[in-house]
Chain A
Amino acid sequence: MSSVVSDATVVAEAGGVARQMADIGKRVAGPAAAEVDELSRFPSEAIGALRAEGLLTALVPRPLGGLGASIPEVSEGLASLGRHCASAAMVAAMHHIQVACLVRHGRNDHLRAFLAEAVEHQYLLASATTEVGTGGDVRSSVCAVDVDGGAFHVHKEAPVISYGSFADAVLVTARRSADSPESDQVLVVCRPPGLRLEQVGEWNALGFRGTCSTGFVLDATGDARSVLDDPYSDISTRTMLPVAHILWSSLWLGIATAAVDRARRFVQAEARRRPGTTPAAAMRLADAAALHQQFSDLVRSAALRYQEVEDDPEAASSLGFAIAMNSLKVSASTLVVDVVRECMVIVGLTSYRLDGPYSLGRHLRDAMGASLMVNNDRIMTNNAQLLLVHRGE
């Protein structure tokens, strides 16, 4: 399942990581995308290619053995990857989110040693943040970590662990102890041999079919130092939530870009047939391009904003930042559907067909998942609450 990186000393020049991910998107993820979608199978080729170039630890700082890439760089890379295969990009994004949490919030020696292993073997990290019985509220847990003599045990019924069957470790939220209230949570790294996963059900969904997001009963034991140093409330606010929303929005942008590409090529092919006449669809393409630019600028500026505050715990915990990171996700999940739909109208029936170079079926199906993976209503409810006290700075 894991492989040694052939040359982990490949230095990421500025933009290098983004370029490498774009190349993997075009050469590897793209050709496999239709089959990944049709068979609902794990995008092993793309993840394998990321592994081979040490890219799974792109976000790990160079002193800790990683490529030292920034969030804006990985955001750009995921947008490129998402153009070719949204499932592969989503698996990669979810993994990078966990890496970011581990780097920033898992500072003890045991976790640093695990990180070093993750770099060497290019571990794929999954997460189990939802739980049967909490109704989709990730800031509440039923299960608890039980610590006894330096060892921990946790048992969790997870309705979803995306690509859980293919991961080398799972980061799990749980109550700090059996006596802790539901919102007093920690994040703990669970891995073999102490990790046991029993799959529950199958993943047969409209889109993101390659993410293999099945449920699991998770039972894990291990060294008690596998619990990350910081409370999950801090990890979530400062890192997991903003990074998740930025990286998801990045790959959704990729879906939108792919749709606009197809719409543009279609309109250009028409224009060549009748030079001198502006195809009616060109006006719609102008609308789609404007919408796409809103999307692109939104994602880029959100990634840069995160970069500005990521080393400042106070700034990263501010209400304004939290509201912005929530708004980003809702805006991006709406824009991706709007852009794809507009492109389908531009291309017409040819995009409605499931075959051919102008097909947009998979793009539309994947795009629809964006507003549902964490339901936008839940996110807006959180923002509504924050806006009751936010002063607007």
Chain B
Amino acid sequence: MDETIRSVLAEHGRLAVDVSAIDDSTDLFASGMTSHASVNVMLALEDAFDIEFSENMLKKSTFESIAAIRAGVLEMTAS
């Protein structure tokens, strides 16, 4: 799962650094992900995991780190 998340970030996150330089808790927004890019990341994650984020998950904190994204995807996959 982490590999998929990282490859989505690499392709859509528009980060200022290489995704391999980022650990689980690195702040993605502070690393260059704009809110515009975060929408593309959301869409790509939904497509990759065949899930749909619910409205209350569509907020900044869900996408602020790889760990947060993983937790969000797990929650959506379980429901």
Contacts and interface: CB of A to CB of B under 8 A. Distances in A.
Nearest to B59: A317
Interface string A123-139: 00000000000000001
A6 B10 CA distance: 59
Contact of A317 (B43, B55, B60): B60
Interface string B17-41: 0000000000001111111100100
A386 B30 CA distance: 20
User: For chain B, what secondary structure do more than half of its interface residues adopt (helix, strand, loop), or is it mixed?
Assistant: loop
Contacts of B36: 382, 385
B53 A233 contact: no
A392 B52 CA distance: 14
B48 interface: no
A267 to B, nearest CB: 48
Given A317-B59, A317-B60, A319-B55, A389 B32 contact: no
A180 interface: yes
B30 A391 contact: no
B43 A233 contact: no
A393 interface: yes
Nearest to B46: A389
Contacts of B74: none
A33 B8 CA distance: 55
Contacts of B58: 318-319, 389-391
Contacts of A393: 55
Contact of A314 (B33, B34, B42, B59): B59
A211 B53 CA distance: 44
Nearest to B36: A385
Interface of A: 139-140, 176, 180-184, 231, 233, 237, 314, 317-320, 382, 385-386, 388-393
Interface of B: 15-16, 29-36, 39, 42-43, 53-55, 58-60
18 contacts: A176-B30, A180-B30, A181-B15, A181-B30, A184-B29, A184-B31, A184-B32, A231-B29, A233-B60, A314-B59, A318-B55, A318-B59, A319-B55, A319-B58, A385-B36, A385-B39, A389-B39, A391-B55
